[in-house]
Structure 1
Amino acid sequence: MRSLVLNRFFTQYIFKELINMNMNSVYKTIINDYVKDSDKKSNSEIIKDIYSYMLKYYRNEYIYQNTIINKLLLGKHSLNTTTALTQIPISKSKADFILINGKAVVYEIKSELDTLERLDKQIKDYYKAFKYVTVISCEENFNKLYDLYGNTKVGISIFTKRNTISNRQAPICEENYLDYKVIYDVLNKKEIDEILLNYYKKLPTVSIVFYYKVCYELFKQIPMNVLYTMFLKQLKKRNKIDENIFSKIPYELKSLIYFAKISSKDILKLEKFLNSNYGG
């Protein structure tokens, strides 16, 4: 299917190539197939055209993720108080999107291009590390989702045909399945050390061979209600981005740049690329 090439476009690899002025074959192919009068347009205009096409005809995971960034992170919250995470391994699943402010909500994206086949297993995995889970999907899937999760603690949101996010069922706190080991594995070593240091006021002095095991034994002795707050505090420190820089990023690229962790130098390169004409 020719449109599958669109899945490859809004990725960090492609954009790093483009901002370094290495014209990319995926970009060329998409322009040839989906953009009219490209020689007369800037790269910024072309990207808007590609995004508009996908918004109408090919709403893949990136379109959903970018909409959540724009409508929820930026529209309802702020970069100063809220952190977004993506592709976080939780047990045997990967969370598409997590939004953390006063609480943390896992958003499992099921676009028009996805099936609901693994959804129940994914939700069960997410509840091992987070208290709130919402499934976000298209209008066509609402009845299926309501049959599965209506009047449960799982939230249901719909990415409407008007490209808004409609909250049809708010997620309710579920803390019965929180699992020490799953939470432990979400964190990196620095974050684990900070939690243990904050709680015990010192770190274990054992050889590196036994360090992981000893840390976990200490970790699981922290009361879950205390630990969960510390867990979210650590995750909120991830993905910090300068609000002034981010405000200059076009709507279509917000999600891509938010998760890219690119430098100020790369932002300047991006601006130069966007402002330049595709046709030279």
Structure 2
Amino acid sequence: MTIRAREASKLFNSNKLAALADGDYSYVEKVAREFLNQDVSKIAVCDIYDHTYQRLSQEYRSEYYFKNTIARRRLLGRHSLKTATMLSEFRVGSSKADCVILNGKSTCYEIKSEYDTLNRLEEQLNDYLKLFDEVYVVCSAKNLESVLKAADERVGVLELTRKNYFSEKRAATPRVDPINVDLLVKSLRKEEYIELVRRNTGVIPSVPNSKLVSFCKSALKTVDPEQIATSFIEVLKEKRLNDSNLLNALPSSLINAAISYQFSSLQVEALKSIFGACKESRCISHTSEESSLS
């Protein structure tokens, strides 16, 4: 019995990784047997993930694959975890931005894979353009022309090529309009917009909860918009810091998982142990091979 690429891609879902962390290897073994045709007793967990990811890069590039490629090539390829943070599914008005990378500026990436429709694209981009410094749509060749026609001219367009590199088809135009404070406050968590007010006005709000949002919006509207835009990035980088220890412990196919998924502290330690052991055994094996050749 074999399984298709779409089903195998569930290996990268949060619930499957949580199950693995809790000691349930059943789905990992199923993918090894029925998708990779491997003897589970002769292949390491990290190799199952790597080999599956490699096949999916040719057979089924899901939203997860796009996000992981953004994390690899944009977050880690261009920046450092010491200076940049990536957010996943960041709420903006009635939309959720697939990926947002924060360094000295805020860059939003909206994914439109070949399995997505463009039904809400205009609405989504209208929200993002009010908040982020730059906005991109990342798409496959299948819907490239449709995206170029549908997206606002200020929005950049990146094609994820068949070789799994980004090809910039249109550069993003940096935001020139003032950041939309109402939308910003609506997009932040309570502790984040309170901190934003404190940093920019020196005031710690002491009003009833029923009046807190209104107070914070009014306070922030007295501040220079560019100062707000800069502070917004700084606050989010501090409050939503990526777990560099987990990122460094997991294979490159799971970078997005470390960023996007919420695991318990016990699950985090278990995943670090499972994949850390794989990396260590690879190093030992590699060293042994070098010794035998010398």
TM-score over 0.5 for the alignment? yes
Corresponding residue for residue 69 of structure 1: 71
Corresponding residue for residue 163 of structure 1: 164
- The answer to whether the 8 A contact 1:20-1:269 is kept is yes
1:13-162 aligned within 5 A: 13-24=15-26, 26-39=27-40, 40-149=42-151, 152-162=153-163
Deviates more, 1:208-217 or 1:250-259: 208-217
Cα distance between partner residues in 2 of 1:3 and 1:242:
29
Corresponding residue for residue 257 of structure 1: 258
SS class of match (1:136): strand
Cα distance between partner residues in 2 of 1:4 and 1:197:
47
SS class of match (1:87): strand
- The answer to whether the 8 A contact 2:97-2:128 is kept is yes
Per-residue deviation, residues 224-274 of structure 1 (Å, max 9, x unmatched): 222111111112224424545533321111110133355775454224434
- The answer to whether the 8 A contact 2:109-2:136 is kept is yes
- Cα deviation for residue 96 of structure 1 reads 0.3
- Give the TM-score taking structure 1 as reference length: 0.87
Cα distance between partner residues in 2 of 1:22 and 1:174:
47
SS class of match (2:79): coil
SS class of match (2:107): strand
Cα distance between partner residues in 2 of 1:148 and 1:12:
32
1:236-247 aligned within 5 A: 236-241=237-242, 243=244, 246-247=247-248
Aligned residue pair count:
274
Cα distance between partner residues in 2 of 1:208 and 1:244:
36
Percentage identity across paired residues of the two chains: 27
- Structure 1 residue runs of 5 or longer lacking an equivalent are none
SS class of match (1:166): strand
- Give the TM-score taking structure 2 as reference length: 0.83
- Cα deviation for residue 103 of structure 1 reads 0.9
Q: Which structure is richer in relative contact order (CA contacts within 8 A, separation 6 or more)? A: 1
CA-atom RMSD in angstroms? 2.5
Cα distance between partner residues in 1 of 2:66 and 2:141:
13
Deviates more, 1:258-267 or 1:100-109: 258-267
- Structure 2 residue runs of 5 or longer lacking an equivalent are 279-294
Point out the structure with the larger helix share.
Answer: 2
- Cα deviation for residue 7 of structure 1 reads 4.8
